[in-house]
Amino acid sequence: MPDLFRRVSTKQKIYILLLLLSYFMVKTVKISDENYMWISKIAGKLQQDYGEPVSIDRALLYVHKSRELSQLAGSWSTPVQEVKKTTADLKDRWATYVRQYLDKKKQ
């Protein structure tokens, strides 16, 4: 390989270098502080799981490839009011289900 590279002209070397750089180019993306904190928490969780440093890019890839939201549980914050409302709704629906089930059993 080194002999082959010596035979290539400087212009061709620059072209090859630019081609490689464009293929492996790093992109800059602007995200909000909230999203950055969210993905950082996921990266931190993955770092604990893997036992090695995890980049933001790797965390985004994990989120992109994971199909189950339950894998991300605990990595985002939820307002207390929303948690209370969801818990109350769940209790009401569960009570309704149990009443309907027991009514069917009596018949």
Q: Where are the domains of the chain?
A: 2-76, 78-107
- Which of 54-77 are b and which e, b meaning 16 or more Cβ less than 10 Å from the residue's Cβ? beeeebeebbeeeeeeeeeeebee
Digits of tens for pLDDT over the chain (107 positions)?
Answer: 556 667 778 888 787 777 777 667 677 888 899 999 999 999 999 999 999 999 888 898 888 887 666 666 666 677 888 888 888 999 999 999 888 888 887 87
Residue 105 DSSP label: H
The C-alpha atoms of residue 45 and residue 63 are separated, in whole angstroms, by 12
* pTM of this structure: 0.44
| Cβ pair 18, 56 in contact under 8 A | no
Helices 56-65 and 33-50, axial angle in degrees (round to 10) = 90
- pLDDT given for residue 75 in this prediction: 63
